Amino acid sequence: MSGGGTCFKLRLVAEPAQPELPSSEPVRAVFLDRDGTINVDKHYLSDPAQLELIPGTGAALKRLQDAGFLLVIVTNQSGIGRGYYTEEAMHAVNRRLIMELAPLGVRLRKIYYSPEAPEQPSVGRKPSPAFLFAARDELGVDLARSYMVGDKVIDLECGWNAGVCRSLLVRTGYGRETEQKHADKLGRAVVVDDLPTAAEWILHQPA
Ligand SMILES: [Mg+2]
């Protein structure tokens, strides 16, 4: 570590490993929380066999992709920092997710994750916008024309901190509880039932 610089490097992971040059044109992205938004929240999911997609998710992601949105997951995986499961176990779950979406033609451009527990220093842990800025720089994403979708206030804040067009709260996962308990923190968030409804809403916005 260089003296005086940051001691904690931004941790990035790209899955699947299908490198592509960043587009010269700014592209739009939908940033997605994983647990409770794409798949059923199983409380520190670490077993690929337990991965269960929320109904309609694959088709919704395909619609967004077909409309030109990059699909980027941004996930807090504090279970690693807490010692509940290993980083490799998380990768296995992610590989399973990629595998289940592949037959539908869905391609996740990047999965950014924060392995730190809440009390550990972290650059990327939501609500930090660091990974969205990374996507802007690495993939050429135009954040102001992009969206963030998740089931917790930290997801919404992550999007706002990065300056996305809108953050959307889904009522799956912790979303319904979030809507009831944190109504004062929802701000300009768009509240929808689930990811398919979120996709529908996004696709009706002007490009
Ligand atoms: Mg979640």
Please report whether residue 18 resides in a domain.
Answer: no
Please report whether residue 53 resides in a domain.
Answer: yes
Please report whether residue 14 resides in a domain.
Answer: no
Q: Catalytic residue, from 35, 41, 151, 155: name it.
A: 35
Q: What's the pLDDT at 1? A: 38
Report the alpha-carbon distance of residue 26 to residue 22 in Å, rounded.
9
The alpha carbon of 77 and the centre of ligand 1 are apart by a number of angstroms equal to 10
Is 33 designated active site? yes
CATH of residue 84: 3.40.50.1000
The alpha carbon of 11 and the centre of ligand 1 are apart by a number of angstroms equal to 19
DSSP assignment of 12-59, as one string? ---SS----PPPSS-B-EEEE--BTTTB---SS---GGG--BPTTHHH
Task: Give residue 12's pLDDT band: very low, low, confident or very high (50, 70, 90).
Answer: low
Domain coverage including residue 194: 26-203
Dihedral, CA atoms, 154, 156, 161, 165, nearest 10 degrees? 170
pTM score, two decimals? 0.89
Task: Give residue 21's pLDDT band: very low, low, confident or very high (50, 70, 90).
Answer: low
Please report whether residue 158 resides in a domain.
Answer: yes
Please report whether residue 2 resides in a domain.
Answer: no
Residues in contact with 116: Cβ distance below 8 Å, sequence separation at least 6, in sequence order: 78, 80, 81, 122, 125
The alpha carbon of 129 and the centre of ligand 1 are apart by a number of angstroms equal to 16
Task: Tell which residue, 72, 65, 64, has the closest CA to residue 134.
Answer: 72
Which tokens in the block code for residue 10?
């931004």
| H or E stretch covering 86 | none
Task: Give residue 6's pLDDT band: very low, low, confident or very high (50, 70, 90).
Answer: very low
Q: Which of 16-20, 76-80, 136-140, 169-173 has the lowest mean pLDDT?
A: 16-20
Please report whether residue 4 resides in a domain.
Answer: no
Around ion ligand 1, residues with a beta carbon closer than 5 Å are 33, 35-36, 151, 173
Q: How many domains does the chain have?
A: 1
Which tokens in the block code for residue 199?
């996709």
Please report whether residue 17 resides in a domain.
Answer: no
What's the average model confidence in pLDDT over 46-60? 97
Please report whether residue 11 resides in a domain.
Answer: no
What's the average model confidence in pLDDT over 27-39? 98
The alpha carbon of 157 and the centre of ligand 1 are apart by a number of angstroms equal to 13
